[in-house]
Amino acid sequence: MTDEIWKRDEIESPCTKICQIHPETGLCLGCARSGEEIGRWSRMSPEERRAIMADLPGRTPAPTGRRGGRAARLKRMEK
């Protein structure tokens, strides 16, 4: 006999518990979802969540190139 009271369907999620939104891309560094997607996740239909999850591998949550180090900081400060 199973206890039906405690049985529930969990919402699938790509969350990796590294929750930080990159300031330039607006995407989470852990799961690559946008802040808006994260906020609506529990209210989305399973189809909407699956479509986003299928798109995630193609997303780049943070720029991959170097930002320029000290020289770039000095240049930004001049503006």
Between CA 4 and CA 10 the distance in angstroms is 14
Between CA 3 and CA 79 the distance in angstroms is 65
Query: Do 56 and 14 meet the contact criterion of CB atoms below 8 Å apart?
Result: yes
- Dihedral angle at the C-alpha atoms of 49, 38, 34, 40, nearest 10 degrees? 70
pLDDT higher than threshold 80 for residue 66: no
pLDDT higher than threshold 60 for residue 8: no
pLDDT in tens, 21-58: 999 999 999 999 999 999 999 999 999 999 999 999 99
Locate the domains of the chain by residue range.
Answer: 11-63
Q: Report the pLDDT value the prediction gives residue 4, as an integer from 0 to 100.
A: 63
Q: Which residues pair with 21 in a beta bridge?
A: 28
